[in-house]
Structure formats: structure tokens, C-alpha cells
Amino acid sequence: MRAVREKTPGLAAAASTRRSFVTVTGAAAALALTGALTSGDDATAAAAAAAAARVDRRPLFTLGVASGDPLPDTVVIWTRLAPEPLAPFGGMDRGPVEVRWEVSETESFGRIVRRGTATARPEYAHTVHVDVRGLRPWRHYFYRFRVGGQLSPVGRTRTAPAPEDRLTSMTLAFASCQAWFEGFYTAHADLARRDHDVVLFLGDYIYEFGADKGIRPGSGDLHATRQTVTLDEYRERYALYKLDPDLQAAHACAPWIVTMDDHEVVDNWADEIPHPGGPADQFLVRRANGFRAYWEHMPLRLAQRPTGPDMRLHRRLRYGTLVELSILDTRQYRSDQAMGDGIKPPNPGSLDPARTLTGDEQERWLLDGLAASRTRWNVLGQQNAMARLEMVPGPERGVPMDTWDGYAASRDRVLGGAHERGVRNLISLGGDLHRSVASDLKLNFDDPGSATVGTEFVGTSISSGMDGMDHDEDGLTLLAENPHIGYHNVQRGYVSCRITPDEWTSDYRVADRVTTPGGRMSTRARLVVENGRPGIQHA
């Protein structure tokens, strides 16, 4: 969902050939599309050691650390070497650098359980993704990196429990939509102060377009105002966002599980179709650049590394017998938005059973996984609102074509398929709307008396949309026209969840302001779902 009007002209004006869309700096030009890894050898190791000696005195860990995708015996740890984060290659020499890493059971690193070395390569913007193996299930660990005499900040992470562990409780937070130029990351600071076992980020980590204006110092600088098209520009935009200390703190406090939405590439893109329109062949090069920079800057495994404009992001993670998370990708395989996008009445396009939001393969993967699940709670981590969002008051109809409303048959197949398979305790977590919306998921949204087959919590934005308010006109319309919606708010924030075998509790944490530093966070609503009883209850 767009935060402000796009300033920069469209793709055709930005460049005229495929080559123009790919950065022309070093080996990254070719590798942006191939995804190939440089092979290691003695010469490479020697060059990495020499490079480490050269950069020993420069500040390297300016973008912090992160961890992600926890499994019972492994977790990914991440950092990037960037002494000049907003310069090409982060200001690094164009050679490999040897990075040492350590994982400890104590924050003082008195009990180091794993250590090793990794090579930060220039073709990957000197990022490091280490899949640390041999860890114990459901344990907190601390990690750090070292180059020469420099130490990174310390991060804390946690592995997942063993598949058959019977957890009595766990905590997770989920968030999305953090337009840097529209607000300070007050919500991330609050998230970092609270104890969560895992954090889900559901899209719009960056915004690709140039802002006309912004509230932060530096919002008028070129690195914030130009539209991202080349690989270097996407890398620069991630560096800009990751320089924020509150975002760094949120990454360092817990492992993250991430998926992207649209602004990691371009607003409201769909499969191979850019929005606003542009030549499809040029868009695929831009998509490859966006995917490459995304993978480089997220704590993701090599399995998620893109191959050109393709990247598999849908995956499944399990927390003992308590929770199974199905992380979806609702951009890469979707049909084009019906009727040119926007708010439209249900129409032949939005109702066409041949159209899809997830693609056929991902839909089968999702339903097969839900049918096979033996956990208490079955969770969809995805980008959009699944519930119907009637947004026109009175007898006229109007729903957003970019959400599941624009792909009604996809929604019917997923919700109906889950119901037919006897899936219990279905929870959908979404974002993108820049507002909080909690809903009962109905088997038939045209019939308020239809069976409730699940519950949806859509979180607001971290900063996109600036301060917001309790309700706006659209929110009042949503509450009036959609009897399945049980909660709405338009302030900034995130959602903190506590899960037990008996209850799912979602605390909507909101900020009184984000347009100036020092905003205060509070719990605006506490919503509960009981085991075996789908639907929202106010605590």
C-alpha cells in the first residue's frame, strides 16, 4: 500500500534497456541475475585475510546484526560490513573479507558453543549469512561477529523447540510497513524492550519510491528521494533503513521470520506485471535487483537466495505441538489485479475462479500442510487482509482489488479447503493496510450467520501513514459495513501475541505519535481467541 505519492517518473523514463536496470559495479552486475556464488579457494582466503587487515580500523558493523528462521537445531545469523553504508558497496574495498563469528549460551560469551569463519564477499555487498548448526532446541543464544580487532553488537536469538515438545506458552510479535521518511521507529523500540520468542515481519521493509518530503532529518537527501531501480540503489535504501538504532535493536532482540510485499520491488506489482505499468522485460530486471538486495539484507538461508527474478519465500516453521507457521508469498505468483486495481465492486475479474493470489502450487502446499498439521494453532503469516473489507457506505459495494477481496475464489478455496479438512484454530496474520483490523473469517462473507472458520489479526504500520488516529472515515465505514470486523484503529504500532494451548491473545500496541522522537506506546486493545472457538473476543 502506497505511503505517499510517487515522485519519480516510471520505469521507461528511468532506463531504456535491461542493462540500465542492473548495477554496473563489479561482479554484482552479472550476479544480480544469476545468483551464482563465487567459489572459495586458498587465494580467496588469503585475499580475505589481507582485506581484513586493511579495514581493521574502520567502523564496519554500522548496520547491526540479525538472526532468523529458527529451527530446533539451527538459526541464521546475519551482518553486513559497511563503513560508509550509503556509498556503493558500503564503502568497502572490492575484495573478500574474513569474518569470525561466535555463538554463546551467555551474553558475556563465557560459554561459547559454536564459532567459525565466513567470507563477506563484494558480490553480496559484504553481507554474511551463517546457518549455525548443532544448537539445542528452544534455547536462547547470543551471537557476535569479529573482523580484526572490531566486534559487532551482540544479538540474542532463540531456536525453535523440537517438533514433539509440548510448549505451555510462547510469544511472538508481528509488524509491517516502515516508511522511513514518514516516522520514527517508536514501535520497534517498544518491541525490543519486550520479550518475544520470534518476530514476524510481513512486508514493506523498505519503500522503493522517492518521497516528496519526509519528517526525518535527511529526508530530502538524494538517497531518500530517488526511486530505487538498480541493485546499488536498492542496497542503499536497505542501508538507510538499517541505520536506524531502534530497528537494529528490534533485530538484535529476537529471531525474525520475514516475507516481502510490494514495496521491496515496486508498488502493487503482480507476478511479472509492474504497477504503475512499464515494460515487463525491464521490470523483471528490476525485480531481480530488488530480490537480490532483499535477500542480502535479511537473515535468510541460502535456500531463499534468489535466482534472477525468482525467489522461494513460502515456507513452514513449527513450534513444537503448539504453533505451525505457514509463511506465504502473495506477490510473486498472483494474477494481475482486477479492473486496474483500486476499490471496485465485486466483478467478473475478482470473482473469476481461474485467478489466483498465491499460485496453484503454493495453494496446494498450503492446504496440504494445514491438513497434515498436528499443532494446536495453525497460523498464516502473509501480507494482506484475508477478510472482506467493504469500504463503500450504504447499498453500493466496493472492496480493494489488491487484497484477497480481489481474488475471492482464492480466498474461498483456502478458507473452504481448511474447513473441509477440519483445520482447527486457524489464525491469519496480515499487514499492508496501515491500520489495525481484527476480523472473524467467515465461510461465506455474504452471510453473517455463516460459519466462522478462523480469526484474522491485521497489524497497522510501524511508521507508514505518520501518526494516524483512533478512527478515520474509512475505519468507521469498515466497522459499519462489515459485521465480521471486531476491532479497528489507525495509529502506528505492532501486535504482540501470547499463545498457550488454551488461548491466543493479541495485544495491539500503538504509539501516540511517530512524527517526533520519544513517542509513548500503550496497549490499545487486547483480543482473545479460545482454543476450539474461532472468532474474536475482547479481553
Q: What is the DSSP letter of 445?
A: T
At 212 the pLDDT is 75
**Interval 212-242: pLDDT, tens:** 778 999 888 888 889 999 999 999 999 999 9
At 279 the pLDDT is 78
Closest CA to 494 of 270, 193, 255: 193
**CA–CA separation, 523 vs 509, rounded Å?**
4
At 278 the pLDDT is 72
- Give, rounded to a whole angstrom, the gap between the first and last alpha carbons of the chain: 30
pLDDT at position 204 over 90: yes
- For residue 296, which phi and psi values (nearest 5 degrees)? -55, -35
Mean pLDDT of all residues belonging to the chain: 90
Q: Which fold has domain 314-539?
A: Purple Acid Phosphatase; chain A, domain 2 (3.60.21)
Q: Which of 3-12, 44-53, 183-192 has the lowest mean pLDDT?
A: 3-12
How far apart, in Å, are the Cα atoms of 101 and each of 41, 109, 145, 146? 20, 12, 4, 6
**CA–CA separation, 328 vs 260, rounded Å?**
9
**CA–CA separation, 118 vs 100, rounded Å?**
6
- For residue 430, which phi and psi values (nearest 5 degrees)? -135, 180
**CA–CA separation, 485 vs 185, rounded Å?**
28
Q: Which of 40-54, 219-233, 458-472 has the lowest mean pLDDT?
A: 40-54
* Number of Cβ within a 10 Å radius of residue 518: 9
* Number of Cβ within a 10 Å radius of residue 56: 12
Q: Is the peptide bond before 400 cis (omega within 30 degrees of 0)?
A: no
**Interval 290-339: pLDDT, tens:** 999 999 999 999 999 999 999 999 999 999 999 999 999 999 999 999 99
At 52 the pLDDT is 56
Three-point CA angle 503, 505, 510, nearest 5°: 180
* Number of Cβ within a 10 Å radius of residue 394: 8
Q: Which of 36-50, 169-183, 436-450 has the lowest mean pLDDT?
A: 36-50
Average pLDDT rounded to a whole number, residues 481-498: 98
Q: Which of 3-12, 36-45, 246-255, 298-307 has the lowest mean pLDDT?
A: 3-12
At 56 the pLDDT is 53
Average pLDDT rounded to a whole number, residues 78-106: 96
**8 or 537, which is more confident:** 537
**CA–CA separation, 65 vs 288, rounded Å?**
24
SS3 state at 411: helix
Average pLDDT rounded to a whole number, residues 174-180: 98
pLDDT at position 366 over 60: yes
* Number of Cβ within a 10 Å radius of residue 263: 27
**CA–CA separation, 47 vs 41, rounded Å?**
10
Q: What is the DSSP letter of 357?
A: S
Q: What Rg do the C-alpha atoms of the chain give, in angstroms?
A: 22
- As to burial, measured by CB atoms within 10 angstroms (0-12 exposed, 13-18 middle, 19+ buried), residue 266 is buried
Domain range list for the chain: 314-539
Helix, strand, coil percentages for the chain (3-state, nearest 5)? 25, 25, 50
